[in-house]
Amino acid sequence: MFHKEGTPSILLGIIFSTGVLLLSDKFIDTNWIKMLIQISAFLVLIIILQFFRNPKRTVILNENQILAPVDGKVVVIEEVFEGEYFKDKRLQISIFMSPINVHVTRYALSGIVKFSKYHPGKFLVAWHPKASEENERTTVIIENETFGKILYRQIAGALARRIVNYAEEGMQVIQGTDAGFIKFGSRVDIFLPLGTPINVVLNQKAIGGKTIIATKG
């Protein structure tokens, strides 16, 4: 299963690979060169397909848990000042996605979308300390009865050039369902109230819609 955001790229990849295979077969006589070109074209298509994969996952809804919004590695767990919306100190958990990770963003909890904003910006590497404030990004606030207001931020990386965000103010969203997509290397930050019990550790591998980030109650 592939994500709908990958449809144009997948179609172009198929057309490109097919064209390379046909043209190389017709115009290149040296077998090893022809094979090298054809294998390279096939590998390009495989990379595109794996990047836009969208594995279906059964999510057990739980109002007392915050689930990982994306696949990747936990790279930040620290107390920070969040200056865009809360303007106070929050507990930040960041998950970095490499190009080989699934890049679907999923809602970490169910609730009402209270705020959703896109910010154009730079394309620093996603793990750069200033990426959260200077890179292209979206900021979304979801209000939940158990946790109150939770902020998550999709952040473009050095290769990413498009962030897709489905959250709109006033929407009722369901934990584990698609919240958007980030193309080619990126990061998602989650900002929780201070004192929230955390269930992950640095460098832990997170699975979107499965790994429990935090619990309450």
Q: Under 8 Å CB-to-CB from 31, ≥6 apart: which residues?
A: none
Average confidence score pLDDT of the chain: 88
Residues of the chain with pLDDT under 50: none
Residue 186 known to be catalytic? yes
Per-residue pLDDT at 55 = 84
| pLDDT 10s digits, 73-131 | 999 999 999 999 999 999 999 999 887 888 899 999 999 999 999 988 766 665 556 65
The CATH number corresponding to 65-215 among 2.70.70, 1.20.120, 2.60.120, 3.40.1440 equals: 2.70.70
By C-alpha distance, which of 110, 192, 184 is closest to 153?
192
Sketch the domain layout of the chain as residue ranges. Answer: 4-51, 65-215
Residue of 17, 110, 132, 186 marked catalytic:
186
This prediction's pTM: 0.84
Q: 3-class DSSP state for residue 168? A: coil
* DSSP per residue, 142-154: EEETTTEEEEEEE
Q: Cα–chain-centroid distance for residue 119?
A: 16
Q: Tell which phi-psi region holds residue 170, choosing left (phi > 0), alpha (psi between -120 and 50) or beta.
A: left
